[in-house]
């Protein structure tokens, strides 16, 4: 990450924290807070079949174990890895957390 990107992320982090405080105090409504969430928080990256397989192999776990950790079925993980389906919602977020923070986060 470049110096500018780091500075921008710190600024956006501070803006989001301030907006969150104002929301808790009742100065910002829920709709406006959602706008701040979209503007300030980093989007979750998309994981394709090869990146899911690479993540699983890096963590040294089987498809069944990954399915259990993500609270999904083995067939779903298999379909992700062959490219028939793509993860979304909570599964996508959990994959991103495992990728960034490590498997220990969920154990």
Which CATH number is 61's domain given? 1.10.260.40
35 and 56 share one domain: no
13: domain range?
3-40
CA gap 30, 27 in Å, rounded: 10
Q: Is the pTM of this model over 0.75?
A: no
CA distance linking residue 52 with residue 80, whole number of Å = 7
Query: Can you give the pLDDT of all 107 residues of the chain as single tens digits?
Result: 334 444 457 888 888 889 889 999 999 999 888 888 878 777 789 999 999 999 999 999 999 999 999 999 999 999 999 999 999 989 999 999 999 888 888 77
Shared domain check, 9 and 55: no
92 class by beta-carbon count within 10 Å (0-12 exposed, 13-18 middle, 19+ buried): middle
Structural domain count of the chain: 2
7 in the same domain as 35: yes
Asked whether residue 15 falls in the same domain as residue 60, the answer is no
Residue 86 phi, psi dihedral angles, 5° rounding: -125, 140
Residues 11 and 32 in one domain: yes
* Same domain assignment for residues 53 and 33: no
Cβ(37)–Cβ(43) below 8 Å: no
């Amino acid at each position: 990450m470049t110096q500018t990107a780091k500075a921008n992320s710190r600024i956006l982090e501070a803006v989001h924290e301030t907006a969150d405080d104002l929301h808790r105090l009742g100065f910002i409504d829920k709709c406006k807070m959602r706008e701040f969430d979209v503007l300030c928080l980093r989007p979750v990256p998309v994981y394709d079949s090869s990146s899911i397989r690479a993540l699983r192999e890096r963590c040294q776990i089987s498809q069944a174990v990954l399915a259990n950790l993500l609270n999904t079925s083995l067939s779903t993980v298999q379909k992700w890895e062959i490219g028939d389906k793509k993860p979304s919602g909570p599964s996508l977020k959990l994959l991103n957390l495992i990728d960034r923070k490590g498997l220990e986060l969920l154990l």
